[in-house]
Amino acid sequence: MGTLKLSRQALIHNLDIIAHHIGDRDKIAVVLKDNAYGHGATLIAGACREYGIGHAVVRLEREALEIEEFFEDILILADVPTCTNPKFQYVINSLDTINKFPATTKVELKIDTGMHRNGIGIDEIEKAFEMMSAQQLECIGVMSHLRSADTLSSEYFWQRHTFDGLKPRVEALSQQYGWTPRFHLSNSAGVFRAAHCDDDIVRVGIALYGCLEMDISLQQPFLKPVLSLWGDKISTRVLKKGERVGYNGIYTAMCDEIISTYDMGYANGLDRLASNRYSTPQAVELRGRISMDSAAFSSDLDELLIFNDANKYAKAVGTIGYEILACLDKDLKREWIIE
């Protein structure tokens, strides 16, 4: 099976850029949900801890349990507690979930400021505080999520203004109930839309991995992709002129050609839509249909670089780098490269 090679140098480079921009590395909360966007949660967690990062964000409690040794606190976006852990805090996404959290659970209240995906309504804030108190929860954070920070529009500023405008109201309620919550709105794109950081933490996901893409009219930070995908050769043959390769024979050799089959297919994260239309960073052409567990390329290399920038690979199949990274097979070998 293929290998994911990770660059610690690129990861540190990205963290340096983020820390410099916000002016305080202690504000960085690294988003490690979905196996750290396919990179390997424990590998990235360990490297971030060595850098001095104390905050992490995941989707599920089981993800938090995998990385708890590396961080001071972990925010869990979409789960309810099944264990007691002083490092964990859980996001409340709607009023009707508040009674699912056991007493004394540390929670963060998510407010819908315009994305309309989850979070309580602005008109429900007082009710949420009342219900959290009645449930004997501890509110340690108030948050929201940006919907269009990576595009050139006024929506970023509208959401920022809405969120910041709620702070005095929330602070007054928090004081009434004896809580001192942290406030945070910025995701990766939001970090670079602002000249300075007013949030208590910033939730950094795709920028950490070097695959943030901003509209061409917005300033693009010089980030480096952390991950590259490599395949190992299974077999090599000469495809004779006129012969076809793979399912349905969608590629026909125009002349005698050396091709090899590599141990990466759509079950491992290659998108089937790349079939017969993708060229690697070393200009090696993919030949024919991608199979479940393999793909053919015009190469005889023992090890083949398939991509070293998920965004560029994503463009070949009409999607985004996020999807490519998140769909990488968890059973693929992951390792740090020697630099």
Which residues are designated catalytic?
33, 247
**Among residues 67, 55, 60, 58, which one has the least CA distance to residue 29?**
55
Cα separation, 225 vs 15, in Å, equals: 12
Residue type, 94: S
Torsion sign over Cα 60, 61, 62, 63: positive
Q: What does the chain come to in residues?
A: 339
- For residue 221, give both structure tokens: 């930070």
Crossing angle of helices 8-22 and 41-51, in 10° steps, is 50
- For residue 325, give both structure tokens: 């990274």
User: 61-68, long-range: CB within 8 Å, 24+ apart, which pairs?
Assistant: 61/88, 61/90, 63/32, 63/33, 64/88, 66/41, 66/42, 67/32, 67/41, 67/42
Cα separation, 30 vs 203, in Å, equals: 6
